Structure 1
Amino acid sequence: MLAAHKGEIPFVVLIVPFLIGISLALSFNLAGYQTIIAISFFTLLIGFIALNLLYQLVGLYRYTWVGAVLMHLLILLGGLLCTINYDSRNHATYFEKLPADVLLVKVNSEPQLKNQFLRFTAVAELSSYKGAKRPASGTLLITLIVDSARAHSIGYGDELLIPAKYKPVDGPFNHAEFNYKQYLAHQDIYTQAFLNPRDVVLLNHNAGNPLVAYSLQLRQKLVGQFKTYMHSPEAIAVASTLILGYKAELDNDILQAYSKTGTIHVLSISGAHVAIIFVMIGWLLGFMDRYRYGKIFKAVLTILFIWYYSLLTGLSPAVCRAAVMISLIIIGKTYNRRINTLNILAVSAFAILLFDPFLITDVGFQLSYLAVAALIVFQPIVYRLWDIDNKWLDKLWVFCSASIAIQAITFPLSAYYFHQFPVYFLLTNLFIIIPVEVIMYAGILCLGLAQMGLSVLAKLAGYVLEKSILLMDAGLQFAERSPYASINKIWLTRVEYLLLITALVFLFAILYYKRIVFLKIALICVLVLSISLSFKRIDGLRSNSISFLNLKKYPAILFKQGDRAVLLTNLTDTDKNYRYSIQPYLDSARISELTKLPFNKDVANSFLLKKGNLVCFMNKSLLVLNKDLQYQTFKPQIKMDYLFVTGSPWVSMADVANNYQYQTLIIDADNSNQRLATLQAGQKKNDKKMYVLKRNKSLVIESE
């Protein structure tokens, strides 16, 4: 739905400077300028109000642009202030700024238990130092090692007394590794604490928001009912995720199948789910339209039910956006108002970002709004490309055009974040249309019947729900395993992403406006993007390097020549450390031919020779100093370019100096703190270079 005039979509126009303000505040540290920004904001606000009051007197109608400029500047500064104020680090009571022995914190998320670790976030309330108490603020991530039943009893809203033992969240140590530090920072979390349950004192239960607490308890109860009336753990996990937004038990293999087939959006409670609920409520309350005030009561009840469902699913950005949009549409239609859907979309974004400006960095938030914007603006353009007379084929084309429009606009963002493109997205999205509706209605029916005590009927609904999920999962897994199911290893820079999204937007503009200037802009973007990708590819094929990866407990060295590589590691490719730290690096380097070997295996090829602990790569040599060599002496000394110490061998710097001649000493992250301290102490008397991987980024050495 394209607007005929910008007056139809005022919030679409006004949200642009607000987004710019938020982005500037997130990109640059502007906390020191908060006072100046606040003074500028209120000065402009007073000027704007004064000019409007004196509109006729000063003849402002002759300079209409003045009001527009002032309004846009006000909104931009408002975005800056909103973001700076939301950042807890800018508050005087932020707990890291206060000296503390212990902290009083309140759990503000649902604790998740995985691999014997209980993780949750908590907001600081009080800081105590030598008996003196001060109010505190800010959120931290807490991880408890689960070794007692007491740890399992911690829930949302509980007040805990914890020792003030926290540290900053580590950033990624290897290239292309997931940036967990940035991920948490986008949620206003900058520190984490690893604690033993016996260090934590539970002071009070259920001190949080009673509405949220009720919602989480009810959701756990409903998940339990799914487990009662269904048998397959896979189906239970998908039903809990798809209907209730509870993702704690979702398997990674299932996530991979949905991701590679372009249907991952199904597992995120979003507008489509809320729309299904809206249609169901509309059908159930349809009888109220016959009464005088029935439409008003129906509208009120529908809005209440939608927001209750939103609360039940955790109030995710996508659900809030959909709830706000549908609420406004219901109000408008109830009072026979004409509503521009694109403007409502902007209103919902404005409201949500005003509450939490950091959500602009959330991938789900970005994909959700892009998808709905594509559905509103670009789907009609695609639909008009093919005029179909057959009624049923036309309905099919409606779904296809929507899927094409959404995938086209969200593809650049998906490629930027997830580095893949689902080839069969059109078929898989068409395939899941009916199963998703059946799953939603069967799931809600199962839960409703269970609440009413009709266990026989609830079991029947649970059977339909389980079989529908298993059928859908089987179809998606078949598509995932099909040849050329997805294009992987797509690594775009931010500039390349912007070029791609700009080219696609102008492609739709060409189809709608039929102007040659839009074609020229799109072609220029494609040309620049192609040149950038080509140079990046050529540079990758020409580069040769040795990469010493930081995997904390496991050594790993990658020898790369062009798009071929040999990886020395004892990890299997199914290990979590391999998948999260090594595989992204291999994909980003576009390695097409990989030889993976454990450290005790030898290899000889055109660019690498390894025999025992000695490795020759191109014109460089490397010796792996591990426990196999810890008591050996060499006369004369062994000469090499790099000496790699791993596995905490019992050696001192004197032993190293007596036995080896090298240019750079590299100490792996798997060495103990004691061995590291010994080697660093001895290094002070040595003029050789040393690089310590522990708590440092991986070392990449380019080779000729």
Structure 2
Amino acid sequence: MMKLINIPFLVITLSTITGILISEYILISLKLSLLLVAICIGILYCIKIYTKRSLKKGSLFYCWTIISFSFFGIALSNIHKPTNYNHHYSNIIPDLSSQKHEIYFYVREQLRSSNYYHRYIVNIRSVDGKSASGHLLLKIIRTKENPVLIPGTSYIVYTSFSDIPFAKNPSQFDYSIYLQNKYIYHQISASYPQLIKSKEKFNLIHNYTYHLREHLIKKLEVHHFSPTQLSLIKALFLGQKQNIATSLLTDYRRAGALHILALSGLHIGILLLLLQNLLTPIHRFGKKGKYISVSLTIIFLWFFAILTGVSPSILRATVMFSFIALGTTLATKASIYNAIIISIFVILCYHPMFIYDVGFQLSYAAVLSIVLIKPRLDSLLQINGIFYRKLRDLITVPIAAQIGILPISLFYFHEFPLLFLLTNLLVIPFLGSTLLIGFIAIILVSINLLPDSIAALLGILLDGMNGIISWISSHDFAMISSIPFSGISVILTLLTIFTLFRITYKNKKTSYMFFFSSLIVLICNFNLEQRIRLNTNRLIIYHTIKNSVIGIHNGNKLVIYSSNPITSAIQKQLYSSYKTQYNIHQTTFEQLKNIYQYDDQLIMVIDSSMIYTTKKTIPDVLLLTNSPKINLERVIQTLAPKLIVADGSNYRSMVQLWQNTCIKKQVPFYNTNTKGAFILER
């Protein structure tokens, strides 16, 4: 297998990835990183000349290549980091949170709306009349009258910058880090009447494709598609999945088919196969015919990507399959492997932070698994006949893909769809036919030639696909949820999978030794992590609004104390991910108490009743909840607490007064609103 791969380019790509990952932990300035790259490339060139003259193929060249492109990865991260440039808004305004500013921006992308806000990603053009750049999260207060902000349109708003809230409770999804990987560091909020629309337009391609999509949607609405059918058409063919019902998303997730609704590598891959089959007759003209065919294929792939708004997932998939289309044109296994490696390098050069994107990781894990593992599975099911080979592919392709993405999927989502194979067997043929009919329908409706028969057929196919998904997801055993899986487990599992399939390529003693060694290490890691989870003991003061919640975690049990009942939605938000991470099986609920003895530490709670003991006990932690109207100076004199904690149930104005008092009295103060949940470990 390794003989088929261009080893130098594999080394370059892996070294670049290493550099990008290192750049998150080692801070090197942009100028210094560029200087180091220049020096390393110069030394690398000298080594190359020396090795040629001495006729040596030593490891020095490869070692220095790794060092050089690791620095290249660091420099790449610095080049793309917008805060490294003087014109970024954060370098123009010294104190972002101090006052309101006049911000001139244009809309880049519409996000899925929350219960209270319509959300957009916007690009800054100027701040307070000064030319500036950077991305922001814009939140528009949600009302029925709010029109959609069109990509490319520009606005002026007078508002203040604010930090994007970080995850304030353990194991919660951190949306601020997610946005930082997209180079978005702050947010602005406004109501629609506050926006002053400008005549100037930017990002004209996105603006044009938005109007084209809206034009196509209006024409499709004439053909009386149901709301569910129309939402699926928008998602599958126009990249707009904001209007899909939550219940339908849940069904697809439970059936292991959520990737069908998000335009990604699956759709681009199917489109590539359809185009290659459609353009096969051109191959009769020899090499020129093949080059014409692949050129038309790539042009159509990019046209589809632009039509759907060039989302990051579509961009990655289109780049990847463009290289794969070139590789398959050369008709060698080596070219396909190298095309995948080159596409990774190109995508990371365009946007280094894609390395942290879940979609990027899953897409390449699936493609590499299919390319590497599927041939070995096919060799186990050697059958004749075109129909039986196609049926075999429907089995081996999803199995191969699932093997590759399973560890990553478990790490991020902690669930496994048991019926994924049945879903693929029944839905993928539907999806291929649906995409083919759908593309034909989109082309015909754009020229006002869509017959009702094709529209009706597309609706039947979509309903049929939804029916299958609904039936599969209705089974209670369709999904295994709450599976704890760590980052180390991902690496060790992937290593074990690699060494297992290495045996099929090299059936030697060393291959078996590597496999069993990695398997033993993986099992030991699982046992060690389980032992650590069982020995975990901590007290958590959660950050939540309009309630006070304390959790005591002991092994696989969690006791929740709260001042008010906790709704299921808040429970999911507060500690659902935490329970999964620590494999907690038993959760009990009790009323919040005034005194807790945790290990050798005493925790006292003062709530709005303002009742507390005046006995000669010195609390290690004093928790203030529900905005008690107390004289904190007197409380400090009476109780002499070692630490005061204010949770999210308090008014912010009172918390600020308490903090000033603690500074005056030299008592440590902990605010869960600014620091997150307070945790005591045993």
Q: TM-score, normalised by structure 2?
A: 0.88
Structure 2 residue 606 is the aligned partner of structure 1 residue 625: yes
Q: Where does residue 4 of structure 1 map in the other structure?
A: 3
1: CA distance, partners of 2:58 / 2:467: 61
Paired residue type of 1:584: S
TM-superposed CA distance for 1:474, in Å, is: 0.9
| Alpha-carbon distance in 1 for matches of 2:46, 2:664 | 72
Could you tell me how far apart the structure 2 residues matched to 1:10 and 1:225 are? Answer: 51
Which residue, out of 135, 140, 143, partners 1:139?
Answer: 135
Give the alignment of 1:310-459 within 5 angstroms: 310-328=305-323, 330=325, 340-388=335-383, 392-453=387-448, 454=450, 456-457=452-453, 459=455
Residues 97 and 488 of structure 1, relative CA distance in 2, 3 Å threshold: same
Counterpart residue number, 1:17: 15
- The counterpart of 2:509, out of the listed 507, 516, 520, is 516
CA distance in 2, matches of 1:393, 1:233: 38
- Determine the C-alpha separation between the residues in 2 that align with 1:425 and 1:335: 33
Q: Does 1:673 align with 2:652?
A: yes
Q: Structure 1 residues 343, 285: closer, same or farther in 2, change over 3 A? A: closer
Contact 1:146 1:152 in 2 (8 A): no
Counterpart of 2:676 in 1: which secondary structure? coil
TM-superposed CA distance for 1:689, in Å, is 5.3
The answer to whether the Cα contact below 8 Å between 1:329 and 1:339 also exists between their aligned partners in 2 is: no
Pair 1:456–1:564, CA change in 2 (3 A): same
SS state of the match for residue 119, structure 1? Answer: strand
CA distance in 2, matches of 1:542, 1:309: 53
Q: Deviations over 1:349-382 (max 9, x none)?
A: 2222211111111110111011111111111122
CA–CA distance in structure 2, aligned partners of residues 499 and 286 of structure 1: 43
SS in 2 for 1:669: coil
Answer with 281-290 or 420-429: which moved more: 281-290
Taking the aligned partners of 1:4 and 1:670, their CA distance within structure 2 comes to 63
Distance 2:54 2:135 in 1: 48
Asked whether the equivalents of residues 595 and 604 of structure 2 are also in contact (C-alpha less than 8 Å), the reply is yes
SS of residue paired to 2:298: helix
Maintained 8 Å contact 2:44/2:61 = yes
* 1:603 counterpart residue number: none
1:642-657 → structure 2 map (5 Å cutoff)? 642-653=621-632, 656=635
Q: Is the 8 A contact 2:645 2:669 kept in 1?
A: yes
The change in CA–CA distance for 1:660 and 1:232 in structure 2 (over 3 A counts) is: farther
Counterpart of 1:605 in structure 2 is none
Letter in 1 for 2:625: T
- 1:547-575 CA-to-partner distances (Å, cap 9, x unmatched) read 11112444322122321222234465542
Q: Give the 5 Å matches for 1:38-57.
A: 38-46=34-42
2 CA distance for matches of 1:395 and 1:197? 53
The aligned residue for residue 98 of structure 2 is none
2: CA distance between counterparts of 1:351 and 1:700?
Answer: 43
Paired with 1:554 and 1:233, the residues of 2 have a C-alpha distance of 39
After superposing the two structures, state which structure 1 stretch, 456-465 or 434-443, moved more.
Answer: 456-465
Report the counterpart of residue 122 of structure 2 in structure 1. Answer: 122
- 2: CA distance between counterparts of 1:203 and 1:442? 40
1-structure distance, mates of 2:239, 2:420: 23
**Deviation, structure 1 residue 414:** 1.2
Alignment of 1:696 onto 2:636: no
Partner residue of 2:484? 490
Q: Secondary structure at the match of 2:263?
A: coil
Q: Does residue 216 in structure 1 map to residue 210 in structure 2?
A: yes
Displacement of 1:290: 6.4
The separation in 1 between residues aligned to 2:47 and 2:636, in whole angstroms, is 79
Shifted more, 83-92 versus 458-467: the winner is 458-467
CA distance in 2, matches of 1:227, 1:266: 22
Aligned pair partner of 2:31 in 35, 42, 59 = 35
Preserved contact between residue 328 and residue 335 of structure 2 (Cα < 8 Å): no
The AA in structure 1 aligned to 2:105 is V
| SS of the residue 1:595 aligns to | strand
The 2-side partners of 1:227 and 1:512 are apart by 54
Q: Which residue of 1 aligns with 2:168?
A: 173
| Separation in structure 2 between the aligned mates of residue 404 and residue 338 of structure 1, nearest angstrom | 21
In the TM superposition, what are the counterparts of 1:270-285 in structure 2 within 5 Å? Answer: 270-282=264-276, 284-285=278-279
Does the 8 A contact of 1:123 with 1:139 survive in 2? yes
Does the CA contact (< 8 Å) of 2:229 and 2:459 recur in 1?
Answer: no
Distance 2:459 2:32 in 1: 63
Letter aligned with residue 460 of structure 2: V
Give the deviation of 1:227 after TM superposition.
5.2
Partner-residue secondary structure (3-state), 2:205:
helix
Contact 1:435–1:472 (8 Å) recurs in 2: no
1:93 alignment counterpart: 87
1:558 corresponding residue in structure 2 = 551
* Counterpart-to-counterpart distance in 2, 1:342 and 1:290: 26
- Show the counterpart of 2:573: 580
Equivalent in the alignment of 2:178: 183
- Do the aligned partners of residues 666 and 228 (structure 1) sit closer, same or farther apart at CA in structure 2, a change above 3 Å counting? farther
Gaps of 5+ in 1: 600-609
Cα distance in 2, alignment partners of residues 26 and 690 from structure 1: 30
User: What SS does structure 1 have at the residue aligned with 2:231?
Assistant: helix
* AA partner of residue 680 (structure 2): I
Q: Is the 8 A contact 2:235 2:241 kept in 1?
A: yes
Counterpart contact for 2:543–2:673, Cα < 8 Å: yes
Cα deviation 1:243-270 (Å, max 9, x = unaligned): 3322212344443443344333222323
Shift of the 326–525 alpha-carbon distance from structure 1 to 2, 3 Å rule, reads: closer
Aligned letter for 2:125? Answer: E
Equivalent positions of 1:602-617 (< 5 A) are none
Distance, in Å, in 1 between the alignment partners of 2:537 and 2:176 is 30
Tell me if structure 1 keeps the 8 A contact 2:434–2:458.
no
- Pick which of 250-259 and 169-178 moved more: 250-259
- Assess if the C-alpha contact under 8 Å between 2:161 and 2:186 holds in 1: yes
CA RMSD of aligned residues (A): 3.5
- Larger mean CA deviation between 435-444 and 288-297 belongs to 288-297
Deviation at 1:519, TM superposition (A): 2.7
Percent identity of paired positions between Structure 1 and Structure 2: 22
- Classify the secondary structure of the residue corresponding to 1:348: helix
Task: Give the secondary structure class of the aligned counterpart of 1:114.
Answer: coil
Distance 2:334 2:501 in 1: 24
- Residue 543 of structure 2 contacts residue 549 of structure 2 at CA under 8 Å; is this kept in 1? yes
679 and 243 in structure 1: CA distance in 2 versus 1, 3 angstrom threshold:
same
Instruction: Point out the more displaced range, 324-333 or 13-22.
Output: 324-333
In the TM superposition, what is the alpha-carbon distance from 1:393 to its structure 2 partner?
4.8
Residues 621 and 645, structure 2, Cα contact 8 Å, conserved in 1: yes
State the alpha-carbon separation in 1 of the partners of residues 369 and 214 from structure 2. 35
Tell me the secondary structure at the aligned position of residue 186 of structure 2.
Answer: strand
In terms of mean alpha carbon deviation, does 311-320 or 547-556 score higher? 311-320
CA distance in structure 2 between the partners assigned to 1:229 and 1:621 by the alignment: 69
Separation in 2, partners of 1:40, 1:50: 15
Q: Residue 509 of structure 1: SS of its match in structure 2?
A: helix
Q: Is the 8 A contact 2:614 2:639 kept in 1?
A: no
Q: Is residue 216–residue 445 contact of structure 2 (8 Å, CA) maintained in 1?
A: no
